[in-house]
Structure 1
Amino acid sequence: MNPYIYPRTKPSFNLHLKETTGKWLRYTVDFPIAKPTRHKENNIAYGEYYQPRGADSWPLAVLVHGWGNRSMIPCKLLAKDLVKKGIASFMLYLVFHSSRMPEVIKNRLPNLSPEEWFEGYQTSVIDVRQIVDWASSTEVIRKQRIAVVGISLGGIISAIAMGVDQRIRVGVILLAGGNYENPAWLRKTGARRTEAESIEARDLYAQYLNRVAVKGLGNVIPPKKSYLTDPLTFASHLRERPLLMVNALWDERVPKQSTVDFWEACGRPDIKWFPTGHSTIWLLYPLIRKEIVAFLCSTFGM
């Protein structure tokens, strides 16, 4: 079962020039989503696109924010820093952003149903893939040099998008992890299990991952739908591509073991640990920017 498959049509992206400088152009963007939801507010995706000047084509970084509107702040900072280095940047506004969120959802945050959470992940991953469709259809983007940069919730979405779409050649995953069956995640959510229940859940997930490895994601029905939103399910598909992980040593939201589990499943890519919490990591933005810019420029041969 692969919920991230969608009808492939010619991209219909509307770009509106909003800002011009000597080094870059900034556009606002909107496009209809490929799999409309029950909420009309979700069905038009929005973003901002920063395009460098002075060349015919550029690599692209798709920037995916985390939970809450404020998580767009580091994305905007990073977009400007990348475009100055000659890397185009597309910032996607997720369905979890207030600009795309219906009132019925806003009024219940964060207490959404499992189906609503699943639909949000599904829409978000497909949105990222539609951006890749658009990038692959335009001559100004170098199709072999497309990266995704995801923060927190956006890191989870980015990892899944990389896992199901080989066109995304490079990844930067910040403040995220995987393996929701790990007891550390359950403690964060307040769920309780006996030791026997924890072992059974761990074994069930391991069996599912083994079947997926043999038969492919689309040919295995998961015992739990949550397996399809766990980055660990997709980690093996990230092993052969350049990947940078950035995490907080004292992250109060993402358990360290969850990050380590995902890191190991991805083949132990380069990982940077900063001595901060989940949100306070942005106090060290100059250091984070340096790591990400250097990684992408090196990977893209710039």
Structure 2
Amino acid sequence: MFHRQDADATTGGSGKRSLRSLPMADGQTIGKLRLPLPPTRKVNRREAPANRTAVQAFPGCRNGYADGRISGAVCCERIVQVETRSKRKDQKPEHSKRTHRPASAFRALEFWISDCRAALAMTCLFGIWSLEFGISPLLVVLLLLLGGLCAPVGPNRQYAGPTERPAGLLAYYSYPKQPIEPNLALKARKRQYDILFLEFPSALNVFSNENIKIDYYVCTTPSQDVSQASRPRCEGGTAFPPPGPDGHDPNAPRRAYEPRRPTVLMLPISGGIDFSVESFARLFVRHGINCALVHNRRVNIRDTKSAEQVEAYFRQTVLDNRQVLDYLVTRPDVDPNRIGCLGLSLGGIKTSLVAAVDDRIRCAVLGLAGGSMADITMHSRLGGLRDYVQELLARKVEPALIHGELAQKVRTDPLQLAPYLDARDTLMFLAAFDRVVPTWTGKQLRQALGRPRTVYLLAGHYTSFLYLPYAHWESLCFVKRRFNLN
């Protein structure tokens, strides 16, 4: 039989447990032969009494460890048996203690792929259409890669909330309250919605004397939670004649349905209402969300002679849209507690202004927006704006003077009003190569807002229309979550 040496002597100073010299039962040794020994193990005291007695019967087992006063092989064998039984009964396998959660990089990749599925589906469909029209397969591959490059970021988990609006701010954007009785006309009739054209005068004009004009997309399909008794309800306050005896008067609007529906204010690009903002309105109204497209006031950049006129234009924008909200909350088909705002490009800048001033806006989608107005004016590649700045520079006007004048006198600025907008109710889209509203100005606005959820698109300002289906899906899901819609 072999006798085991002291545990410290078996390590040899290297941490490996082996025998330097194993004494025989009669005192002889094996010499310099190094043989591995089973590691010293702690005896589990929770073992059955029979096993505990078997181990304690050996006087050399101190606290469950073996030493050289007894047969090392016998003691180690007994300890290994007890330890093995204990593992089988009391201990779980080592791998079961792991959480099996992937690394953070893989979780981020998983989240990114799930958010990009709509863009990938869009590019696949576009690729099929491209092949049908004979476009190069290489272009299709590039479009497929482009569709997957949407990078959602945020929101900031440590965001503390918006700043309270001061009384002076609300007074600056106030106007005389008056009853609003718009002129209504049926512009178009679709299977699921009607498009009404509304026009009424503004209560306060600080920029130009124009009426406020709206294209109102009103859903005409009944909601799922509407009872048969409360479904039909004629629109109140309209100037349309009632339907004829057959109930199919083409000049009369369709009947609205209860309950009140959520409504989104939509603000177009600088060129006015185009297919992009109309596509958002058609999508939203098909999902039971009314949309009000507010027309831009006519403005010529070359007629803007001073920074005061720039301030008057954006202040007028806030005043007009607040009056649109005044009218919408009086309609029987609008839920005043579920009103949002969405804008693209210049409309995105206006959305940040309106949502920051008026607390009736419960959620906002800012598409390709930025701030400040001074930075955008000086660095934008928009044709008309760039030419206007070049004309001023040709007259020996210093760039610092132009920037300083705009920064000082334009109070209605996205960066200045950003602290009053709740980042938790805001969604942003930024183009990585935007030169019309430079990307770094969009990042400035995002930082000033408190870093809301932002989707970065691998495109420029105009090529971002390739991501329009993805922007549709992301915006609709965001608004539905904020309005608690299925």
Q: TM-score, normalised by structure 1?
A: 0.79
Letter aligned with residue 50 of structure 1: Y
> Structure 1: how far apart are the matches of 2:206 and 2:372?
27
Q: Which of 89, 100, 117 is matched with 2:310 structurally?
A: 117
**What does 1:216-235 align with in structure 2 at a 5 Å threshold?**
224-226=408-410, 228-235=411-418
> Structure 2: how far apart are the matches of 1:39 and 1:223?
23
Does the 8 A contact of 1:147 with 1:168 survive in 2? yes
**What does 1:15-26 align with in structure 2 at a 5 Å threshold?**
15-26=184-195
2:290 counterpart of 1:88: yes
Q: Which of 444, 447, 454 is matched with 1:271 structurally?
A: 454
Q: Which of 363, 370, 376 is matched with 1:177 structurally?
A: 370
Letter aligned with residue 89 of structure 1: C
Does the 8 A contact of 1:51 with 1:88 survive in 2? yes
2:439 counterpart of 1:238: no
Cα 1:39–1:299 change in 2 (3 A) is closer
- Residue aligning to 1:249: 432
- Residue aligning to 2:281: 79
2:223 counterpart of 1:31: no
Does the 8 A contact of 1:12 with 1:32 survive in 2? no
Shift of 1:50: 0.5
Shift of 1:283: 2.4
Shift of 1:19: 2.3
* Cα deviation code 1:170-206 (max 9, x no counterpart): 1001111113465x76344566349xxx9xx7xxxxx
- SS of the aligned residue for 1:115 comes to helix
2:181 counterpart of 1:12: yes
Shift of 1:34: 1.6
> Structure 2: how far apart are the matches of 1:257 and 1:223?
17
Does the 8 A contact of 1:185 with 1:255 survive in 2? no
Please, which runs of 5 or more residues in structure 1 have no aligned partner? Answer: 96-100, 202-221
- SS of the aligned residue for 1:224 comes to helix
Shift of 1:262: 1.1
* Cα deviation code 1:243-285 (max 9, x no counterpart): 0001111001122221112111211111011111112211221
Does the 8 A contact of 2:374 with 2:407 survive in 1? no
> Structure 2: how far apart are the matches of 1:265 and 1:273?
17
- Residue aligning to 2:84: none
> Structure 1: how far apart are the matches of 2:212 and 2:421?
26
- SS of the aligned residue for 2:274 comes to helix
- Residue aligning to 1:260: 443
* Cα deviation code 1:65-102 (max 9, x no counterpart): 12113x5221111111100010000001010xxxxx3x
Does the 8 A contact of 1:163 with 1:235 survive in 2? yes
Shift of 1:121: 1.3
> Structure 1: how far apart are the matches of 2:467 and 2:302?
28
- Residue aligning to 2:337: 144
RMSD, matched Cα = 2.6
Asked which structure has the greater RCO (Cα within 8 Å, sep 6+), the reply is: 1
- Residue aligning to 2:267: 64
Shift of 1:169: 0.9
Letter aligned with residue 18 of structure 1: K
> Structure 2: how far apart are the matches of 1:4 and 1:82?
29
Cα 1:177–1:223 change in 2 (3 A) is closer
Does the 8 A contact of 2:427 with 2:478 survive in 1? yes
> Structure 2: how far apart are the matches of 1:253 and 1:36?
29
Does the 8 A contact of 1:149 with 1:172 survive in 2? yes
Shift of 1:111: 4.9
- SS of the aligned residue for 1:139 comes to coil
- Residue aligning to 1:129: 322
- Residue aligning to 1:49: 216
> Structure 1: how far apart are the matches of 2:285 and 2:195?
10
Does the 8 A contact of 2:207 with 2:316 survive in 1? no
Q: TM-score, normalised by structure 2?
A: 0.51
